[in-house]
Amino acid sequence: MGKGSRLSQGRSYLAIPGPSVMPDAVLSAMHRAAPNIYAGELPDMMPRLMDDLRAVARTQHNAAIYIANGHGAWEAALANVIAPGDRVLLPATGRFGFGWGDMATGLGAQIDLIDFGKRAPIDVAQVSEALLADKSHEIKAVLAVHVDTSTSVRNDIAGLRAALDDAGHPALLMVDCIASLACDVFEMDAWGVDVMVTASQKGLMVPPGLGFVFFSERAQAARSRMTRVSRYWDWGPRADPQIFAQHFGGTAPTHHLYGLRASLDMIHAEGIENVWHRHGVLARAIWAACDVWGQGGPLEMNVADPSHRSHAVTALRLGAPHATRLRDWVEQNLGLTLGIGLGMAEPGDDAWHGFFRLGHMGHVNGHMIMGLLGGIEAGMRALDIPRGTGALEAAAAVISG
């Protein structure tokens, strides 16, 4: 396709694993004059906003908001329960596990790492062994990532709770749901999660800038035992504010809150179970297409077992330099942006150009996913990348049910 025939005009489509596509309802809710932050609509909307956030997290317990990205939510959560010198167990399944561990290291924690590599989920039996070996209960927390966005591995969080309970180990179960919340099934209370962190720009469909920490009464008890927690990260006033400004440790993220209100309205109108179901069907359509492509060429899903794959993001292997060429082609010619590979190879290494990811989190529906897959088909065809035929048929068969 020559330059003159580029087909990228029209609405662009950002199919990366966050930030995700923003609904028009979220954008228009934010397009407004600056609100009064002392009284009226904005402060008045907080109680229901917090309740609706808890409903998405499936918890009856506490919620705190930070003006921060996911990294800020990590630090916020850790700063409330981890003191310098504390040990934390880190079962890692990709780049984001290491990132969370690194944040804990920065706060002075000692990390017990169990590295499950880049393609496999947490093996709960190995976590059990580590917990049983810690007879004096020095490990203060298990840091897990529900969906590691770099590998698209989804981990068994209820299994980790069972491992802690079976070992009679009091460590907190802390879970990063930044990629997975409102995409993959997650049950904070039913699964016995003590601390959950998430952020606004993925399944919640709001621009980056809000971090959320949800915490149980057990986590609050651990917080109470801390000698010192930085004022700004302290979740106490944020979760139980006496005045509106305490929700945010200062000025409210005014427009993000309107965007979040609109997003929660959409999620609750659809119903969280239906949101999960939609993500499940759309993910299976993507996998069906990838299976077919892979039968006649180099494309391969990073996670072999579908039961360990996320419904929010799919990490793919295409071999260098195909992945980078494909991403460039669909962006330039179709207005479709795919995610780079993350944590699979070093950016300076040629192999880096062999990996890419699809984000399918939040505001995505059947025609978008068919468009995403059709765009990839067109790109592989334009670039002569070998592939099996019938991928779109296979995806259509999943979507048509």
Ligand X SMILES: *Cc1c(COP(=O)(O)O)cnc(C)c1O
Buried b (16+ CB within 10 A) or exposed e, 283-319: bbbbbbbbbbbbeebebbbbbeeeebbbbbbbbbbbe
Q: Distance between CA atoms of 210 and 201, rounded to whole angstroms?
A: 8
The residue range among 50-58, 171-179, 224-232, 378-386 that interacts with ligand X, by the rule CB under 6 A, is 171-179
By CB under 6 A, residue 149 contacts ligand X: yes
Report CA torsion sign: 290, 199, 21, 182. positive
Ramachandran region of residue 73, left (φ > 0), alpha (ψ -120 to 50) or beta?
Answer: alpha
The residue range among 106-114, 132-140, 173-181, 342-350 that interacts with ligand X, by the rule CB under 6 A, is 173-181
Q: Distance between CA atoms of 312 and 314, rounded to whole angstroms?
A: 7
By CB under 6 A, residue 289 contacts ligand X: no
By CB under 6 A, residue 188 contacts ligand X: no
The residues facing 110 across adjacent strands are 87
Applying CB under 6 A, the site for ligand X has a residue count of 12
Binding mask 87-116 for ligand X (x = CB under 6 A): ---------x--------------------
Binding mask 129-148 for ligand X (x = CB under 6 A): ----------------x---
By CB under 6 A, residue 20 contacts ligand X: no
By CB under 6 A, residue 359 contacts ligand X: no
Residue whose pair of structure tokens reads 């997290």 in the numeric block: 57
CB of 208 to ligand X, least distance (A): 6
The residue range among 52-60, 63-71, 229-237, 368-376 that interacts with ligand X, by the rule CB under 6 A, is 63-71
Whose CB is nearest to ligand X? Answer: 70
In the complex with ligand X, which residue's Cβ is closer, 145 or 395?
Answer: 145
User: Which position among 90, 178, 196, 283 is part of the footprint of ligand X (CB under 6 A)?
Assistant: 178
By CB under 6 A, residue 75 contacts ligand X: no
By CB under 6 A, residue 207 contacts ligand X: no
Measuring CA to CA, which residue among 197, 162, 192, 193 is closest to residue 176? Answer: 197
CB of 134 to ligand X, least distance (A): 26
In the complex with ligand X, which residue's Cβ is closer, 181 or 385?
Answer: 181
User: Which position among 208, 374, 388, 390 is part of the footprint of ligand X (CB under 6 A)?
Assistant: 208
By CB under 6 A, residue 176 contacts ligand X: yes
By CB under 6 A, residue 14 contacts ligand X: no
- The Cα-based distances of 233 to 75, 106, 149 in angstroms read 8, 15, 25
By CB under 6 A, residue 18 contacts ligand X: yes
In the complex with ligand X, which residue's Cβ is closer, 178 or 289?
Answer: 178
Query: Can you read off the two tokens belonging to residue 254?
Result: 């005014």
CB of 5 to ligand X, least distance (A): 35
What number of residues does the chain have?
401
Please provide the distance, in angstroms rounded to a whole number, between the alpha carbons at the two ends of the chain: 34
CB–CB of 203/361 below 8 Å? yes
Q: Distance between CA atoms of 121 and 119, rounded to whole angstroms?
A: 7
- The Cα-based distances of 377 to 380, 383, 391 in angstroms read 5, 10, 8
CB–CB of 194/215 below 8 Å? yes
CB of 92 to ligand X, least distance (A): 12
CB of 155 to ligand X, least distance (A): 11
For 91, the enclosing helix (H) or strand (E) is strand 87-92
Q: Distance between CA atoms of 126 and 93, rounded to whole angstroms?
A: 13
Measuring CA to CA, which residue among 7, 16, 3 is closest to residue 337? Answer: 16
User: Which position among 71, 87, 218, 255 is part of the footprint of ligand X (CB under 6 A)?
Assistant: 71
Q: Distance between CA atoms of 363 and 365, rounded to whole angstroms?
A: 7
By CB under 6 A, residue 220 contacts ligand X: no
In the complex with ligand X, which residue's Cβ is closer, 69 or 314?
Answer: 69
In the complex with ligand X, which residue's Cβ is closer, 309 or 387?
Answer: 309
* Helix pair angle (366-382, 391-400), 10° resolution: 170
The residue range among 68-76, 186-194, 284-292, 334-342 that interacts with ligand X, by the rule CB under 6 A, is 68-76
Q: Which residues bind ligand X (CB under 6 A)?
A: 18, 69-71, 96, 145, 149, 176, 178-179, 199, 208
